[in-house]
């Protein structure tokens, strides 16, 4: 494969990335605005939380099966179909809104359909990276993929809050549909090599379930990759618990305006971390770099719960948020270079489901444990109020703070334990790179 073609494919990746970036921002605008719309009309936290479940859970559950399709069909085609389905869902929501027929069950249904489409898009997007990006650019491309959701996380709420008052939900829907056309246009412009026909034939010989199991067996047969997956289950659990606990902890001792300022600091951290790793490309030794940065991540969680101090909490949250894009970039670069291109859809589908399924489980359990276990322990006259633990404070929100400190310690201890996992530490030397722009993949679609 010539250097000229490698440069062109990197350009094509940037075009796809830009299209996905604006689409993520557009989708974030709609999701955030719909959440506000639902809460204002129901005043129900349960209904508001259900929206988040429908946004993420269907896509997580479908991802292993979506990965099978990704390995059988041109990855660009999968992304195009996914974006078309998600766009149709947005169009249906907009139509129902404009005709005053929009109800909660319709929102949940259509958001769930869009989530299913995302479940196909994300494994295809990850696998597409192997076909568009030269090996020496893997770190930078992985960093760019972390920057996109970080930018959407920062910009979508800010833009939604500013635009809702001026253009309302109808304007938000129009912006989302515009970004959808931009994403589809970018995908339509690129040309992506087809997967080698012998690899498609091998996949089609097996049933759907056999292909899903093949993705799991691929990971299980490689202890280093299995260790990396287990490590990120830990990271995702601790991160989800932190997100669920942070708001009630902060509001336990201060105002909503202070909460907003602290959250803004975390948003800046995500964006800064994404920009850094995009420009830098990440550490040369991805595994050791990942473990080193994970210690700072765990320390950031601990800082957030130590004292009821807005400045200390903001510092801890900035540190956590800044490190997360670096961790994710290192992980993605490893998976990308150590997974055979023909298996990437199935492997990434399993990886997404196992690692991300921890998120809703952690969020659902965090509230129960905080309300019924930790908050009573550090109530003003609680069992731990007269012990040395009271150093972190007593009263509303301090039980959640104790939970956060323990959560951060779990992240630190887990990271320390992983640093003794021989297969994980030597993953990059034990497994050969399989990052290939295959000479045989000459046909395009």
Residue 438's pLDDT band, with cuts at 50, 70 and 90, is: very low
Q: What pLDDT, on the 0 to 100 scale, is given for residue 193?
A: 67
Rg of the chain, C-alpha, whole Å: 22
- How crowded is residue 240: how many other Cβ atoms within 10 Å of its Cβ? 21
In 3D, which of 247, 243, 272, 20 has the Cα closest to residue 129?
20
Q: Which two tokens stand for residue 265?
A: 């600091």
Note the pLDDT of residue 202: 55
Residues 25/156, Cβ–Cβ less than 8 Å? yes
Lowest-confidence segment of 185-194, 376-385, 403-412 by average pLDDT: 185-194
Whether the CB-CB separation of 84 and 184 falls below 8 Å is answered with yes
User: Interhelix angle for 286-306 vs 223-251, to 10°?
Assistant: 20
Rounded Cα gap, residues 53 and 65, in angstroms = 20
Backbone angles phi, psi at 444, to 5 degrees: -130, 160
Question: Contact, 329 vs 146, CB < 8 A?
Answer: yes
- Rounded to the nearest integer, the mean pLDDT of the chain is 84
Tell me which DSSP letter residue 396 carries: T
pLDDT at 444: 38
**Contacts with 152 (C-beta within 8 Å, 6 or more apart), sequence order:** 21, 24, 25, 27, 28
Least confident of 135-139, 386-390, 425-429: 135-139
What residues form DSSP beta bridges with 444? 193
| Top CATH class, 3-430 | mainly alpha
- Helix (H/G/I), strand (E/B), else coil: 190: coil
Distance from C-alpha of 394 to C-alpha of 307, rounded to nearest angstrom = 10
Residue with tokens 């010989």: 205
Q: Which residue is listed with tokens 């412009």?
A: 189
List the beta bridge partners of residue 390. none
Q: Record the tokens describing residue 45, joined without a space.
A: 């936290």
Give the pLDDT of residue 46.
59
pLDDT at 196 over 70: no
**In sequence order, what are the residues at sequence separation of 6 or more whose Cβ sits closer than 8 angstroms to the Cβ of residue 157?**
28, 32, 267
pLDDT in tens, 229-271: 999 999 999 998 888 788 788 888 888 778 878 877 888 898 8
* % of the chain surpassing 70 pLDDT: 89
- 333-342, 360-369, 391-400, 434-443: the lowest-pLDDT one: 434-443
Query: Above 50 in pLDDT, residue 439?
Result: no
**CB of 434 within 8 A of CB of 188?**
no
Is the Cβ–Cβ distance between 384 and 378 less than 8 Å? yes
CA distances from 167 to 136, 264, 291 (A): 45, 24, 46
Q: Tens digits of per-residue pLDDT, 202-233?
A: 556 667 888 899 999 999 999 999 999 999 99
CA distance 69 to 200: 10
The 10s digit of each residue's pLDDT in 75-104 is: 889 999 999 998 898 899 889 888 888 888
Q: Over 70: is that where the pLDDT of 344 sits?
A: yes
Could you tell me which residue, 129 or 318, shows the higher pLDDT? Answer: 318
Specify the pLDDT at position 437: 38
User: What was the pLDDT predicted at 151?
Assistant: 72
Strand residues in 184-241 grouped as ranges (E): none
State how far the Cα of 214 lies from the Cα of 203, in Å rounded to an integer: 10
CB 233 within 8 A of CB 311: no
């Amino acid at each position: 494969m010539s250097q000229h073609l490698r440069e062109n494919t990197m350009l094509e990746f940037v075009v796809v990335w830009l299209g996905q970036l604006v689409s993520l921002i557009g989708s974030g605008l709609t999701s955030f605005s719909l959440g506000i719309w639902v809460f204002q009309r129901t005043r129900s936290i349960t209904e508001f939380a259900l929206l988040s479940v429908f946004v993420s859970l269907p896509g997580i559950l479908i991802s292993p099966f979506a990965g099978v399709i990704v390995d059988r069909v041109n990855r660009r085609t999968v992304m195009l179909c996914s974006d078309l389905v998600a766009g149709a869902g947005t169009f249906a929501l907009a139509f129902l809104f404009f005709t005053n027929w929009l109800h909660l069950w319709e929102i949940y249904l259509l958001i769930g359909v869009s989530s299913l489409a995302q479940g196909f898009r994300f494994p295809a997007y990850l696998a597409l990276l192997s076909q568009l990006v030269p090996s020496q650019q893997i770190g930078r491309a992985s960093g760019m993929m972390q920057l996109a959701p970080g930018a959407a996380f920062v910009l979508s709420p800010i833009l939604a809050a500013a635009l809702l008052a001026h253009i309302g939900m109808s304007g938000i829907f129009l912006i989302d549909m515009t970004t959808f056309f931009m994403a589809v246009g970018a995908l339509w412009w690129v040309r992506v090599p087809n997967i080698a026909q012998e690899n498609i034939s091998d996949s089609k010989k097996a049933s759907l379930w056999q292909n899903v199991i093949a993705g799991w067996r691929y990971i299980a047969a490689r202890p280093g990759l299995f260790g990396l997956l287990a490590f990120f289950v830990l990271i995702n659990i601790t991160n989800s618990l932190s997100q669920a606990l942070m708001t009630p902890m902060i509001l336990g001792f201060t105002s909503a305006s202070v909460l907003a300022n602290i959250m803004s600091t975390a948003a800046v951290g995500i964006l800064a971390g994404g920009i850094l790793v995009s420009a830098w490309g990440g550490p040369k030794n991805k595994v050791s770099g990942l473990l080193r940065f994970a210690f700072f991540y765990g320390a950031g969680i601990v800082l957030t719960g130590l004292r009821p101090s807005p400045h200390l909490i903001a510092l801890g949250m900035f540190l956590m948020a800044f490190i997360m894009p670096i961790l994710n970039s290192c992980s993605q670069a490893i998976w990308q270079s150590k997974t055979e291109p023909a298996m990437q859809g199935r492997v990434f589908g399993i990886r997404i489901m196992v690692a991300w399924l921890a998120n809703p489980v952690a969020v659902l359990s965090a509230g129960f444990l905080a309300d019924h276990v930790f908050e009573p322990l550090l109530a003003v006259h609680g069992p731990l109020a007269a012990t040395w633990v009271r150093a972190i404070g007593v009263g509303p929100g301090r039980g959640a703070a104790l939970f956060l400190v323990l959560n951060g310690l779990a992240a630190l201890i887990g990271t320390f334990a992983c640093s003794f996992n021989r297969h994980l530490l030597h993953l990059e030397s034990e497994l050969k790179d399989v990052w290939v722009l295959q000479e045989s993949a000459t046909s395009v679609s």
